[in-house]
Amino acid sequence: MRRTPDLGARRALRVLVLCHDTLVPPRGARGYSRRAPPEWRTEFDVLRALRALGHETRVLGAQHDVEAVLAAVRARRPDVVFNLLVEFHGQPGFDQHVEGLEKGQEKEFELPPELAARQGR
């Protein structure tokens, strides 16, 4: 029989989960129907799993507003940003730029020119 190593007590992390604003699970949701799962099932399952592991989670539905993401990172100072975005500002390629926020404000966050113009930067 194979034994798993004792890793000791794990530290609870502050996790900010980013997702599309229409996919934030409703407050108080305790589950969903497997026969007709809602569109937000992945987000719900990720949040439930993180909480079951003892982590403190916050979810932010932000698909269009860079400032909302920056404000959440500054205010919550997460240990981890779990990015469930598949697009940002309607552009599939922009989601990769959100990953730069995982470092908080340690590095300058630069937007692609097309998104910067839309954000008025």
Q: Express each pLDDT in 41-83 by its tens digit.
A: 999 999 999 999 999 999 999 877 778 888 888 888 888 888 8
Residue 9 has pLDDT above 90, yes or no: no
Q: How large is the average pLDDT for residues 97-113?
A: 51
Is 29 within 8 Å of 39 (Cβ atoms)?
no
